[in-house]
Structure 1
Amino acid sequence: MAGRLGGKVAIVTGAGRDGNIGVAICEAYLREGARVVATDFRTAESEVVSARLARSAPAEHFRFLTHDVTSEANWAQVAAETAAAFGGIDVLVNNAGIAIHAGIEHSSLDDLRKVMAVNHDALFIGTKACLPELKRSVQRFPGGGSVINNLSMASYMPSGINIGYHVSKAAGRMLTLCAAVEFGPMKIRVNSVHPGLTMTPLIREGLADYVKLGAYPTVEEAEASIAGMGPLGISSDPEDTAHAFVYLASEEARFVTGASIYHDGAIGQRY
């Protein structure tokens, strides 16, 4: 099949909310010829989004599965259903994420554990669940399997008002590097993408929380201030970010593993 991802089978988590990075990745993967399984909690919005994605895809190239990424049993089911439907798994995109905006003083241990479970533990669980099929990807594609973790610029930027999110993303960065070393001999590449200020619903809600915490006067001023940290001085959108995920999933990136792609407008130059 034509396209940079022609014939590849991809799972993309956290892809049930319109305007988020996961949905943009699904759209880009479908355009590039992949067969895609999008997962998320099943909601009225996810039903609308998944129906739209299905209409945009060739026949039998898209499925939506209800998914709790913190559940080992659910991950085993998603991996098995994907392999049964499409014949394998070549690409795993760990995109699902949550945030509880507070520092140590106003967070509970349960808050931290909840964020870590989705943003970090799910990377471990999902990668392990998909590993048997990812190992077999090299039989279909010379570049082998690909795991791509969406980790955010939060993984290298400290924050006093968003501890769970930043700590979980930093932990995911090391998990990515360790997995790249472990899985290299299996012909599985493991990389991460670190988006900067990308105007998704989750980010808009986060900026609103920052306003409530007194960090910024308004959401608009929060966006301008954070975007201004980088030399480009602008925010991104999910479609921009999806291009990085296409590259890492493609055969063009067959020699790329353990890489952290800073898709952040160079805000990371400050750290």
Structure 2
Amino acid sequence: MPRLSGKVAIVTGAGRLGNIGVAICRSFLAEGARAVVATDFRTDSSDEIETLIAADGHAGAFRLVRHDVTSEADWQQVAKAAVDEFGQLDVLVNNAGISVHGGIGSTSLDDLHKVMAVNHDGLFLGIKTCAPYLASAVERFGGGGSIINNLSMASYMPNAANIGYHVSKAAGRMLTVCAALEYGAQKIRVNSVHPGVTMTPLIREGLEDYVRSGMWGSVDEAESALAAMNPLGIASQPEDTAHAFVYLASDEARFVTGASICHDGAIGLRY
């Protein structure tokens, strides 16, 4: 039987081709999810993503809606719409994230607040808004409801050139374990996945910034250098990372909460 049979999920940050969010949506549907509501601040790739999902054979089970994760009103609207249409909510994936490069001296307070608002406050609002709906999942599935936060290995690894991203992801890690303690009694599991180098559009844009700064000669050179930093010597693709989310969303993980899965090729062992 498919591992997510009958489940309904919300996946944020899933409005751009090639990113982890889209890979998660496709993997959830391939594993039998009844429906996936994908959200993103921008939906300019919606036609291409919907075409891709339709080619997978899941058009009727997929929705892509515009969503500002920093807005509590948007969260309430998205969660209610998902439940109104599909009758339930079983999984929340907080995947949306942004990055503004710079150290403490070169990062403005406004830019820091912008990154924290998406990468941390968005998690807080998602958990707070969706938990009441997720609590009823235990009536349908032995594993109860599941919240999965995409936090990156940046939550463990300091980087003086990208202060906002790393600090926000570290704050998200503490929010995850606090939420696991708070919502355990409601049979809601809260876990995090920490990808290492994963070839997404956001990562490639970051590499382009480093190329412009003269650190590397090209994006391909930067990708090879980063991949070589982990013992496996490879960079993860979004589809690789999505498997970790499938596991945590499934009832196979019914006894897993407050956990951090480092999906990083062991790059963290270098720190």
TM, length-normalised to structure 2 = 0.96
Alpha carbons of structure 1 residues 133 and 54: separation in structure 2 relative to 1, 3 Å? farther
Worse-matched range after superposition: 53-62 or 84-93:
53-62
How many percent of aligned residue pairs carry the same amino acid? 69
Aligned to 2:9: 10
Secondary structure at the residue paired with 2:100?
Answer: coil
Match of 2:110 in 1: 110
Aligned twin of 1:130: 130
Cα distance in structure 2, aligned partners of 1:249 and 1:85:
21
Q: Secondary structure at the match of 1:60?
A: helix
- Retained in 2: the 8 A contact 1:30–1:57? no
**Unpaired runs of at least 5, structure 2:** none
- The separation in 2 between residues aligned to 1:44 and 1:178, in whole angstroms, is 35
How many residue pairs end up in the alignment? 270
Residue equivalent to 2:244: 244
Deviation at 1:224, TM superposition (A): 2.0
- Which ranges of structure 1 fall in alignment gaps of 5 or more residues? none
Give the equivalent residue in structure 2 for 1:23: 22
What's the RMSD between the two structures over aligned residues? 1.3
Tell me, what secondary structure is at the counterpart of 2:13?
Answer: coil
- State how far apart, in whole Å, the 2-side matches of 1:48 and 1:261 are: 30
Q: Which moved more, 1:195-204 or 1:206-215?
A: 206-215
In structure 2, do the counterparts of structure 1 residues 55 and 42 end up closer, same or farther at CA, with 3 Å as the change threshold?
A: farther
Q: Deviations over 1:35-83 (max 9, x none)?
A: 1001113433123213432453446311111111110000000000000
- The CA distance in 2 between the partners of 1:18 and 1:248, in whole Å, is 23
SS at match of 1:100: coil
Amino acid of the structure 1 residue aligned with 2:162: N
* Residues 54, 63 of structure 1: 8 Å contact kept: no
Which range is displaced more, 242-251 or 39-48?
Answer: 39-48
* 3-state DSSP of counterpart to 1:39: strand
Structure 2 counterpart of 1:76: 76
Q: Which residue of 1 aligns with 2:165?
A: 165
Instruction: Summarize deviations over 1:9-43 as a string: whole Å, max 9, x none.
Output: 00000111100000000000001111100111343
The residue identity in structure 2 corresponding to 1:107 is T
Q: Which residue of 2 aligns with 1:190?
A: 190
Equivalent position SS for 2:214: coil
Q: Which sits farther off after the overlay, 53-62 or 235-244?
A: 53-62
* Aligned counterparts of 1:23 and 1:250: Cα–Cα separation in 2: 18
